[in-house]
Amino acid sequence: MNSKANAYECASKYLSTRIRTEAEVRKKLLEKGYKENEIENAIDELKMLRYIDDYQYSLSFIEYSIGKSRGAIRIKTELIEKGVTEQIVDETLDEYKEENPYDEFDLAIEYAESICTDCRMIDEKLVSKISRSLNNRGFNTDTIYKVVGEIYKWKNTKELN
């Protein structure tokens, strides 16, 4: 058995549990001590077979992240941390938004409502908690400000009732 087969088999085994980025596979093979040319050959073959496809990985990750109420900033950051190029991240975010129109504001409002379900009173502490949570989830500042504005409208509505 030659080294290329070993690197290929190691990468295949690593990919058998879930899809991964090219950078993740490359890092794993480097950690296992494979030489750069062995890694390149294995990755080229896996890409040819479409077992490694950063574009497809990015689309899947975006769909998963939107389902978890994450904003574009966090999605982009996490994908880049996983080794996906900024160009692919931007292209896949645009493609996803084209094919699955969604409004980040609506996503952020839904998340804010999930935090407020058991809240009897909307106060500064709660608003701060929601703002921090939205920021941590990767929503941009404009969206967060709009959500805070909506929360104060809820507060005024609850006070009138």
Question: Is residue 80 located within the same domain as residue 127?
Answer: no
Question: Is residue 68 located within the same domain as residue 39?
Answer: no
Whether the per-residue pLDDT at 161 is higher than 50: the answer is no
Question: Is residue 108 located within the same domain as residue 91?
Answer: no
Indicate yes or no: pTM above 0.75. yes
Q: Report pLDDT digits (tens) over 99-149.
A: 998 889 999 999 998 887 655 677 888 889 999 999 999 999 999 999 999
Question: Is residue 85 located within the same domain as residue 116?
Answer: no
Split into its structural domains, the chain has a count of: 3
User: In the prediction, which pLDDT does 12 show?
Assistant: 95
Question: Is residue 87 located within the same domain as residue 110?
Answer: no
Q: What is the CATH number of the domain that holds 38?
A: 1.10.10
Question: Is residue 36 located within the same domain as residue 60?
Answer: no
Average pLDDT over residues 71-89: 97
Those residues with Cβ within 8 angstroms of residue 33's Cβ, 6 or more apart along the chain or in another chain: none
Question: Is residue 123 located within the same domain as residue 81?
Answer: no
The residue whose two tokens read 């990985």 is: 57
Whether the per-residue pLDDT at 151 is higher than 50: the answer is yes
Question: Is residue 112 located within the same domain as residue 144?
Answer: yes
Contacts 24+ apart (CB under 8 A), 99-104: 100/63, 100/66, 102/66, 104/71, 104/72, 104/139, 104/140, 104/143
Output the 3-class SS for the chain.
CCHHHHHHHHHHHHHCCCCCCHHHHHHHHHHCCCCHHHHHHHHHHHHHCCCCCHHHHHHHHHHHHHHCCCCHHHHHHHHHHCCCCHHHHHHHHHHHHHHCCCCHHHHHHHHHHHHHCCCCCCCHHHHHHHHHHHHHCCCCHHHHHHHHHHHHHHHHHHHHC
Q: Model confidence at 93, in pLDDT bands (50, 70, 90)?
A: very high
User: In the prediction, which pLDDT does 76 show?
Assistant: 97
Domain that holds residue 71: 54-99
Question: Is residue 64 located within the same domain as residue 80?
Answer: yes
Q: Model confidence at 5, in pLDDT bands (50, 70, 90)?
A: low
User: In the prediction, which pLDDT does 126 show?
Assistant: 85
Question: Is residue 44 located within the same domain as residue 60?
Answer: no
Dihedral (C-alpha) 68, 91, 142, 160: value to the nearest 10 degrees? -40
Question: Is residue 8 located within the same domain as residue 22?
Answer: yes
Question: Is residue 89 located within the same domain as residue 122?
Answer: no
User: In the prediction, which pLDDT does 158 show?
Assistant: 55
Whether the per-residue pLDDT at 1 is higher than 50: the answer is no
Q: Report pLDDT digits (tens) over 37-76.
A: 999 999 999 999 999 999 999 999 999 999 999 999 999 9
